[in-house]
Amino acid sequence: MAAPDVIVIGGGLHGCSTALHLARRGIAALVIEKDHVGRHASGVNAGGVRRLGRHPAEIPLSVASMELWHAIRDLVDDDCGFQSHGQVKAAEDEAEYELLRRRVEEVRALGFTHEELVGRDELRALVPAIADHCVGAIVCRQDGAALPYRTTLAFRRKAESLGARFLEGTRVTGLRRQAARWQVETDRGAHEALHIVNAAGAWAGAVAAQLGEPVPLEIIAPMLMISAPLPAFLKPVVGATGRPLSFKQFANGTVLIGGGHRGRPDPATNWTDLDFAGLALSARTVWDLFPPMRDAQIVRAWAGIEARMPDDIPVIGPSRTSENAWHAFGFSAHGFQLGPIVGAIIAELIATGHTNLPIAPFDIARFTRPA
Amino acid sequence: MSAVNEVRDSYDVAVVGAGPAGLTAATACAAAGLATVLFDEQPAPGGQIYRAITQTPVQRASILGNDYWYGARLVRDFQASRAQYVPGATVWSLSREREIGVSTGGAARLTQAKRVIIATGALERPFPIPGWTLPGVMTAGAGQILLKSGAMVPQGRTLLAGCGPLLWLLAWQYLNAGVKIDAILDTTARASRSAAWPHAPAFLFSPYFRKGLRLMLSVRRRTKVIAGVTGLRAEGNSRLQQVAYRTADGAEIRLPADTLLLHQGVVPNVNLAMSVGIEHRWDDDQLCWVPVVDGYGGTSVDGVAIAGDGAGIAGAWAAEERGKLAALAAIRALKPDTRQDILPDEANIRLALAKVERGRLFLDRYYQPAASFRIPRGDTIVCRCEEVTAQQIIDTVALGCTGPNQMKSFLRCGMGPCQGRLCGLTVTELMAQTRGVPPAEIGHYRLRPPVKPITLGELAALPKDEAAIKAVVRG
Ligand SMILES: Cc1cc2nc3c(=O)[nH]c(=O)nc-3n(C[C@H](O)[C@H](O)[C@H](O)COP(=O)(O)OP(=O)(O)OC[C@H]3O[C@@H](n4cnc5c(N)ncnc54)[C@H](O)[C@@H]3O)c2cc1C
């Protein structure tokens, strides 16, 4: 088989999206995944497709990605379970409402209008089940949620249909430059390519270190839990302001509860230990905000293994030590929504050396530059 | 006051499950002076086999038989010990640091143990035939629970179908209680019988041999047994009306029925063990996942042991001995200077164990259910919680799903309240057959706590004080 132009390390959404956008440009990619595609953060996350509350640096990317989400079927031939019932961030008191008001102003000042401040009545209209004490919210009406594993697999299938190849159960163990090409060693043989992409999620730190640019990446395990089906009572995804929460009901009635609290990951074995004291806090938040949920049965909880950077924004762009090496990792528990656009950016960088989207804030040099 | 307030913050040993293994384990640990707690879901001790032994309304001893009443001694010893007993307690999580989440009386607690002994026993193997979800169809195990705890027996036309010792035991107990059984449809496979014969000589020396034989003969004298049954299906509109089957001569026969009791053996209840990450292997004789344990029930997770049928099916008498062995390891680890005469006598235990385990392979092979009863096809339901059919699961393999964890993301099969307890084995074998690879390669659902549902309210009330809350809100 002919050597690929690009080897993508990691078969999460970012790796699959990169492979897809490369394939659309006629560039042959080989994705190497140590477990199976979508096994980690990309397959088990909360599925929130959210621009609401993004770090200012992420807003342009998030907005561009949202356009791709709204046409996701055209991109991957599957609707990915994407539904756009909006995202809501509720304020529980006047002080929180004031914070939200300032936030919306800040976003407007940057030239974006997707975040909208709403008062008590509008919040009730959007989320009738929310507790009485909530005074208002930010809403992003075109935001929504999708099914993460189905999405990741759809990207993979479409990429494959356009010629990308996938090697699962294969771990990249070493990277060498030789005659202006990359020699990629794995636990099941070596491969070579002109470019490499580090989309290794929680394990991306090891790849960056191999390239001589170690980063302060923290491996985290955000937790989620889900209820038995309840009668429909909620359309948008709801978050809170003063405490971590992500709360949504699926079409089948089950309710997904997440936000903030973390388990303990063991990235070497893919194991995560849940922290029920943390889940209890999420449960208490839901207890306060959604009284009808109090008798709901929690049937399952889990955690995904994810990379977090100290400034909570990802690393996207070229390696600063090696030629033809590219990074897309460190999504800090909110990279699902960015998947469609980040793959496009990396493919564009590889094909043209340039992108119009503002990626300077995501430069790996911010961590490796001598202080 | 809720019983949950009696649960302490920490123990030396926490035992989960009050069947024979859990009872002897807790009794022995407490005798050695270890702070011991026994959590069990049922309102009274005894586990499955000795269920409700202290309070059963079935008064005539001859109905349930001597092997049932034998359990009273284990319960008495346990009750005389200093172990704390928490009945009606659901253990819904266990971490590798041996933090246990437990609920009782609608309230939940986290508690910590230096050693944990999982003695959660066995589950009935799924028996996914067409129509098995119709009202009127239940498992023999469920039938037996109703008999032991409520003195309830089926009315109307009653059929038992399947294979395995428990099917015969239930038939015997029903007949003793005066239930009229229309027929027993014996699905024991000819191939399994021949595969078992080489192990028959060992089984002749098993204590189960004479008992089993006597029980089967007694049942056969009193009811019709139809052998070589295949193509079993339950039929009816909104509830069971008839049972269809074939025998060796090929003709399809239908029997009217109000109740059909299905059973084809038991398998270890692995949910709690798997949820804490204990290593398991596929057992080709018992056709199920079995935890990898050492001679004392010790597992790949430090400080967590498994005793009884949960560590591999071997029956109640073996469970009793395996409970003592797990206790022995716990005592040696936590109180190495315990006096010899207080320690369980290992040599005796091993002798007793060898005796009751003799010829086990014969039983495993003889009652190995045929593939057609384990691996359904077409629109037969596999997952009762989400009503997923065999064909739907087969179709996900074409979508690129290589195992249960990928499949469940599409179909939600195994994601309902039962957490895969009722479909796990079926899914593993079905995907293995579809992909043409061994079950070990397919794997099992990744099981995550809570292994039993808890309410949001119970969870929300977990942290006890502000300091505990601060400790979890970090970074
Ligand atoms: C519980 C949870 C909830 C979340 N909720 C949301 C949400 O609602 N909205 C949102 O936008 N984001 C959310 N996120 C974040 C989002 O899931 C991630 O940011 C995103 O999926 C990251 O994708 P990825 O492709 O970079 O990483 P991953 O999906 O982790 O993929 C990386 C892959 O690389 C592979 N790999 C690593 N090293 C090697 C190697 N050496 N060789 C071969 N393969 C290797 C890994 O096995 C892995 O499959 C959540 C995350 C979690 C954990």
Q: Give the Cα separation of B424 and A189 in Å (integer).
A: 35
Which pLDDT score is estimated for B466? 53
| Continuous segment of H or E residues that includes residue A276 | helix A276-289
**Position of tokens 């919040």?**
A123
Q: What are phi and psi of A181, to 5 degrees?
A: -130, 160
Q: How far is CA A107 from CA A90, A126, A247, A280, A335, in A?
A: 17, 22, 23, 33, 20
Residue in B277, B415, B453 closest to A297 by CB = B453
Low-confidence ranges of chain B (pLDDT < 50): 1, 471-475
Q: What is the CA radius of gyration of chain A?
A: 21
Asked whether the ipTM of the predicted complex exceeds the cut of 0.85, the reply is yes
Residues of A in contact with B449 (CB under 8 A): 274, 276, 301
- Give the tokens for residue B86: 């928490």
Residue in A271, A287, A298 closest to B454 by CB = A298
User: What residue ranges define each of the domains in chain A, with the CATH number in brackets?
Assistant: 6-64+148-216+311-367 (3.50.50.60), 87-141+222-303 (3.30.9.10)
Mark yes or no for CB contact A296/B416 under 8 Å: no
Check if A201 has its Cβ closer than 6 Å to any atom of ligand 1.
yes
What residue of A is the nearest CA neighbor of B275?
A273
Residues of A in contact with B95 (CB under 8 A): 273-274
Query: Which residue puts its alpha carbon closest to atom 34 of ligand 1?
Result: A10
Q: Give the Cα separation of A56 and A68 in Å (integer).
A: 20
Contact B361, B285 (CB under 8 A): yes
**Position of tokens 């640990």?**
B29
Check if A337 has its Cβ closer than 6 Å to any atom of ligand 1.
yes
What residue of B is the nearest CA neighbor of A169?
B402
- Residue A175, classed as helix, strand or coil, is strand
pLDDT tens for each residue of B119-144: 999 999 999 999 999 999 999 999 99
Residues of B in contact with A169 (CB under 8 A): none
Optimal mutation site among A44, A298, A309, A311, interface B, most CBs of chain B within 10 A: A298
Ligand 1 atom, smallest distance to A303 CA: 1
Ligand 1 atom, smallest distance to A48 CA: 8
End-to-end CA distance of chain A: 46
pLDDT tens for each residue of A189-214: 999 999 999 999 999 999 999 999 99
Residue in B93, B457, B473 closest to A276 by CB = B93
To the nearest whole angstrom, how far is the Cα of B453 from the nearest Cα of chain A?
A: 5
Residue in A227, A275, A287 closest to B460 by CB = A287
Q: Give the Cα separation of A78 and A15 in Å (integer).
A: 18
Q: What are phi and psi of B259, to 5 degrees?
A: -135, 135
Q: Is the dihedral of CA A130, A131, A132, A137 positive or negative?
A: negative
Low-confidence ranges of chain A (pLDDT < 50): none
Tell how far the Cα of A307 is from the centroid of ligand 1, in angstroms: 8
Instruction: Give start and end residues of each alpha helix (H) in B358-412.
Output: 360-366, 371-374, 390-398, 404-411
Q: At what angle do helices A59-70 and A339-352 cross, to 10 degrees?
A: 100
Which pLDDT score is estimated for A371? 58
- Cβ-proximal residues to B319 (8 Å cutoff; 6+ apart), any chain: B19, B20, B21, B119, B121, B307, B308, B309
User: Checking phi first, is residue B228 left (phi over 0); if not, alpha (psi -120 to 50) or beta?
Assistant: left
- Residue A300, classed as helix, strand or coil, is strand
Tell how far the Cα of A230 is from the centroid of ligand 1, in angstroms: 29
Tell how far the Cα of B37 is from the centroid of ligand 1, in angstroms: 41
**Interface residue ranges in chain B relative to chain A, Cβ cutoff 8 Å:** 93, 95-97, 99, 101, 110, 277, 399-400, 402, 406, 409-410, 412, 415-417, 419, 446, 448-450, 453-457, 459-463, 468-469, 471-473
Question: Closest Cα partner for A289 from A333, A231, A230, A248?
Answer: A248
CA quadruple A181, A185, A189, A192: dihedral, nearest 10: -10
- Cβ-proximal residues to A344 (8 Å cutoff; 6+ apart), any chain: A17, A21, A68
